[in-house]
Structure 1
Amino acid sequence: MYFFVNERVAEQGSGIEHAQVQRGLLFRKNQVSFKIVTRTYTQTGHRDILAWGVNDAELINLFDYYAQTEYVPEHPVHAKDVDWGGRTPAVLEADKNKPDTTLVWEDTDKQKFMGRIHTDPKHDNIVTFTEVFEHFGNLYKVDFYDTRGFVSKTQYVDPDGTPNTNVYLDLDGRPVIEEFLRKKPLRPSEINLRKRKFFEAEGQRKANAKLNGEDFKAGKFETPKDEAIITGYRLVKPNGFTYVLDSFDELTKEFLNDLNNDFFSEKTPNVFISDRSSGASDGMINMEQPAYKVLHLHNLHASDTRDVMTTDANNNYEYDLMNINRFNAVVSATNKQRRDVNKRYKSAAKGFTIPVGVVPQAIRDLDRVPMADRDPHSVLMIVRRAPDKRINAVTEALMIANREHPGLNAHLDVYGYFDGSNNNQTNRDLLKLFEEFKLAKPTMLDDHDQPTDDITKVRRIESDVVTLHNYVTDRDELYRIHRRHQVYALASIMEGFNISMMEAMANGEPAISTDVNYGPNDLVVHGKNGYLTRWAPQGEESLFVKEMADRFYEVFSSDKKLQELSDQAYDLSSRYYEETVWDAWKQLIADANKQWPELYQQHFDLPRYGVAYKGEMDTQFQLGQRANEITWRGPKSVKYFKRMKQLEGQL
């Protein structure tokens, strides 16, 4: 089995999630089984994964795994369906101040308050969680509902409102994981961190007040009191054996060990690909049984793109790079990064160059759209709306081009999820640009598309030169957006590849980008499918914005040149067609199979002991109990088909 290890796959994912899903769909197309492995608890995980085109058989989450809820039919729960544990509600009444909340009483006089039901208005008002009060009017527990329609987590609360235990449940309400919380005083270093964050927020409030022409009144920092922290876990496996673990990373390690055991096969290796370095990396490196382990670099491996050989490692990869020789393979998206990593770390792990992005057949099947049929002088960015993506630099370049060439009227559209890093720097920098260029202040909208002057609430911006849009999840809609625009732009601090730029080119958009390692300066063939401008560190954008402005004018002032660039963007995208990327993956697959006979010799048989849940014979410690599972045509295991039938009868 091929496991793609991550934290979670949310509905609004980053480039890593896009890369994982595109790889998964490529594996499925070539009939190779895979599972996206996540370790974070989420109520919406299965709904989110379906939005990506991945099915339940291709996802395995830590909490689902131990609760045996990987395959559960969807039976959404609404307010009237909530089970109050033997108590019968007499009155259900909508909260006047919160339309997504229902108040519940046990008597018609509304003297015995039972709790609150919280629902999701965006998804048919299904229940998300309930707050349950005891007879004396105190909140004592909160039940969290999985979107498939069952309570997957209960949080127990002390009389003072402090959570003390999180309990993760199977379908029978049986605890499988308990997370213990205890109060403790904050250390001086923790108090100082809170103080620093407080004064950062004060600085943000002060800047907001200045922008809005309001008076600013400084707040006062109050030393925080005791805080509830996680002190440990108790894991109850299906065989009834109980494990006490110190941390979530230890729990993750146990999970990865069990996964490797379940899918273990003498014939073929389990291949674990670390896509997002986290606590899972330690568990992956230190698994007890042999497996083929892959470090996948999705971003720059160093802290500074100007010096990738001697500067500190990217902190996201530091642990992995320190242990690089404990991996069997290292995957980079470009040949340049592969060579740099091998040279710097003298890695014994085999290096592979495999693009993280794939041009899907769905794009290739579309007709080419001529530049003349697109919005004139339109520029697109699909990025996380954060300071390191430097949306402000691209906007400034367009403002310069428009100012120097009246009538150009170039416009930038930015799609992506909002990131308020560094005191909403992206929003603040954009507003400063409008002041500097003496342009009318843009329309600013909040989460509900209502006008706002509060910069902390701004989620969208509309103006003649730049518009910030919401995140788009629908892939077909995203391709339509690409095909309405003429040029794609990028000015990131660092990159590892850039799937959005690859997809832009596959949709006929040439790119104008800074010459940043790695990805953009590999995707862009200067003068053919776009242009590379000088790169500069954060705070020194003036070194390239004028050059970028000149490039925008150059391409928009010649219809012939613009069309030639577009034709080359289409043609050069063949480097990332499915069959080309799959050929690269086949090399890694071949290496894993080649190394497996020797790796297999390191395995040991696990003892069989204990009695499983409900008296079944223990198979928890039998190697390979799920080795025959085939995800590209659904799970083959009889055990899971049987479980599905049982569930259909229960729910």
Structure 2
Amino acid sequence: MYYFINNTVNKQQSGIGHAEMKRFHLFKKYKQPVKILTTDFSRSLTDALRFHGVDDQSAINMYDFFGKTAHVPTRKFGIDDLHLPDKFKVEKIDKHYDVTQDARLIMRIVMRDDKPDWIESITYFDSAKRIIQGDFWDCRGYRSLQQFYDRKGNVRVRRALDNHGKPFFESFDFHKDYDGDHQTLYRLIGYQGYDWQFSGSKNLIQFFFDELVKQDRERGENDIFVSDASLADAWSLLHMRQPAFKVMHLHNNHSNNEFDVMHGGLNFNYEYSLDNFKRWQGIIAPSPSQAHDVAARFGDQPKTFAIPVGVVPDELFNQPKQDFSKREPGRIVMIARLSHEKRIDHAIKAVAKAIKKVPNITLHIYGYANDESGDKAKKLVNELNLKKAVTFEGYTDDMDAVYNRAQLSILTSTTEGLPLSLIEAQSHGLPIASYDVNYGPRDIVNNDKDGFLIKSGDIDAMADAIVKLMGNDQLRQQFSDAAYQSREKYSEDHVWKHWQDFDRDANRFFQNLGEAVD
């Protein structure tokens, strides 16, 4: 069984989340047993998984595993289901209800935004109007979490409940730091007839991984863990006691020095994993160039596999190519989180320069904000008087429409892994102008054929590339035709061949393991 590991799954996914889902559906298509594995407690997880086409049988969450709540049916739970006493007064205020008795606030009931007649949470108050308890509902309609507060409003105890209201997990927060770790005690209640205590989440997750492997081995299955969130789960994976094929998946530059990937400091997301390089059974890099550099820096054991994170679905290959005359004249798109490493300001400044020579161009930025970069970028747009030319479109799921409408895609990041946005743009026949950063752009873009690779940080050169492409209809069409040809290397069949090579190595591991046991 393949397990693709992440903290959680959200409806609005990051690039890593999108890559994981593309891989999951590729495995499903080729009938390779696979599950999405998550370790965070999330009340909205089931809705998010279903949104991305993942059913209950194809996902496993640590808390659902221990609570035996993986296959709970969804049902409505509203205010009437509370059966409040007649002596309580219930008053609707905006999106919540206040429940009082003799003018004293007893509880506050908050309803879900997407289902206004379903309960989201209930907060309970003492006679001094201090919060003493919070109850929270899972998206499937049952109370799944309780929190208990001290007199200062700090959460002291969290309790996870199954769909029958029985607690199966507790955490106790001591609000003390020791060696940089916030001290919390974790406890599983009644698991296999015993209560289990853990000094932190890493130990709990390790126990979960081991229990999962034991369960699968009893059914004759070998487990392959692909970690898409090694910052959170590497320690737990590398301290497992049960045999499994454990692989760290790189999604970005392994070094935080884009100019010296062989000696520069390590990206903090991968530092622990790479410091323990030889304890893995394999490493996955999304591009051949990064796979080469990782092997050169850390060694050839374990093997570093070069497997693309992007997959162009067969459905897209079967669709007619977008007629360039149907694209919106001058429309440039940038698909990126509004985050400092994406250098949104470079794209805006480049457009400010290019628009002087090609007045009809517009830049449309798609992505959610996760730091102050979004506000800074919007301020820059105002300062440069580009409000009519630059639009922040937010997050969207309809990427086909985004790419089919545009004439050019640009990327100005400081570092990447193998940017999905460029693969997707290319697969829709879009010319590309991208900074030539580690890693990905040079693996995707064929310079001067289907796009332009530009020295990292050179805003003037980016502006020149925009002018060159957006000012020449014939060149754009030529690059678009080439882009459609270039996308072949990310076809489902091509990417799956890489995974078949990987699978053979994993099977050899288990074969050798069996021989050693014999």
Match of 1:105 among 79, 100, 104: 100
Q: Which position in structure 1 is the counterpart of 2:192? A: 239
Q: TM-score, normalised by structure 1?
A: 0.76
Q: Which position in structure 2 is the counterpart of 1:327? A: 280
**Cα distance, 1:551 vs. partner?**
1.1
Q: TM-score, normalised by structure 2?
A: 0.95
Q: Which has the higher strand share?
A: 2
- SS of aligned partner of 2:124: strand
Matches of 1:265 and 1:61, distance apart in 2:
20
**Cα distance, 1:138 vs. partner?**
5.2
Could you tell me whether the CA contact under 8 Å between 1:392 and 1:430 is conserved in 2? no
Q: Which position in structure 2 is the counterpart of 1:497? A: 418
Q: Which position in structure 2 is the counterpart of 1:428? A: 376
Q: Deviations over 1:163-204 (max 9, x none)?
A: 2200111122222111102345x89x99xxxxxxxxxxxxxx
Q: Which position in structure 2 is the counterpart of 1:584? A: 498
TM alignment of 1:137-536, pairs within 5 A: 139-184=131-176, 230-264=183-217, 268-403=221-356, 405=357, 408-420=359-371, 424-432=372-380, 434-435=382-383, 437=384, 439=385, 463-472=387-396, 474=397, 477-536=398-457
- SS of aligned partner of 2:217: coil
**Cα distance, 1:136 vs. partner?**
7.7
Q: Which position in structure 2 is the counterpart of 1:41? A: 41
Could you tell me whether the CA contact under 8 Å between 2:410 and 2:432 is conserved in 1? yes
**Cα distance, 1:550 vs. partner?**
1.1
- SS of aligned partner of 2:120: strand
**Amino acid corresponding to residue 310 of structure 1 in structure 2:** H
Change in 2 beyond 3 A, CA 1:602/1:244: farther
- SS of aligned partner of 2:269: coil
Q: Which position in structure 1 is the counterpart of 2:90? A: 92
**Cα distance, 1:253 vs. partner?**
0.9
Could you tell me whether the CA contact under 8 Å between 1:128 and 1:145 is conserved in 2? yes
Larger Rg: 1
Q: Deviations over 1:310-353 (max 9, x none)?
A: 00111111111111111111111111111110110014112211
Q: Which moved more, 1:123-132 or 1:493-502?
A: 123-132
**Amino acid corresponding to residue 284 of structure 1 in structure 2:** L
Q: Deviations over 1:518-565 (max 9, x none)?
A: 1111111101111101113xxxxxxx1111111111111221110111
Matches of 1:268 and 1:71, distance apart in 2:
21
**Amino acid corresponding to residue 466 of structure 1 in structure 2:** V
Matches of 2:90 and 2:484, distance apart in 1:
58
Q: Which moved more, 1:262-271 or 1:309-318?
A: 262-271
Matches of 2:104 and 2:347, distance apart in 1:
59
Could you tell me whether the CA contact under 8 Å between 2:342 and 2:412 is conserved in 1? yes
**Amino acid corresponding to residue 507 of structure 1 in structure 2:** H
Match of 2:469 among 555, 561, 573: 555
Q: Deviations over 1:35-76 (max 9, x none)?
A: 111111111001011111111222211111111111111113
Identity %: 30
Q: Which has the higher contact order (CA 8 A, sep 6+)?
A: 1
Change in 2 beyond 3 A, CA 1:419/1:263: same
Matches of 2:354 and 2:321, distance apart in 1:
28
Matches of 1:272 and 1:82, distance apart in 2:
42
**Amino acid corresponding to residue 103 of structure 1 in structure 2:** D
Could you tell me whether the CA contact under 8 Å between 2:184 and 2:200 is conserved in 1? yes
Q: Which runs of 5+ in 1 are unaligned?
A: 191-227, 443-462, 537-543, 605-651
Could you tell me whether the CA contact under 8 Å between 1:169 and 1:175 is conserved in 2? yes
Change in 2 beyond 3 A, CA 1:75/1:554: same
TM alignment of 1:622-641, pairs within 5 A: none
Matches of 2:188 and 2:113, distance apart in 1:
34
**Cα distance, 1:266 vs. partner?**
7.9
**Amino acid corresponding to residue 388 of structure 2 in structure 1:** D
Change in 2 beyond 3 A, CA 1:529/1:83: farther
Change in 2 beyond 3 A, CA 1:266/1:67: closer
Matches of 2:433 and 2:87, distance apart in 1:
62
Matches of 2:191 and 2:450, distance apart in 1:
56
Q: Which position in structure 2 is the counterpart of 1:208? A: none
Matches of 1:266 and 1:81, distance apart in 2:
41
Change in 2 beyond 3 A, CA 1:125/1:504: farther
Could you tell me whether the CA contact under 8 Å between 1:302 and 1:312 is conserved in 2? yes
Matches of 1:132 and 1:603, distance apart in 2:
56
Matches of 2:286 and 2:380, distance apart in 1:
36
**Amino acid corresponding to residue 121 of structure 1 in structure 2:** D
Matches of 1:243 and 1:88, distance apart in 2:
42
Q: Which position in structure 2 is the counterpart of 1:195? A: none
**Cα distance, 1:601 vs. partner?**
5.5
Change in 2 beyond 3 A, CA 1:601/1:238: farther
**Amino acid corresponding to residue 145 of structure 1 in structure 2:** W
Matches of 1:409 and 1:464, distance apart in 2:
10
Matches of 2:316 and 2:99, distance apart in 1:
51
**Amino acid corresponding to residue 35 of structure 1 in structure 2:** K
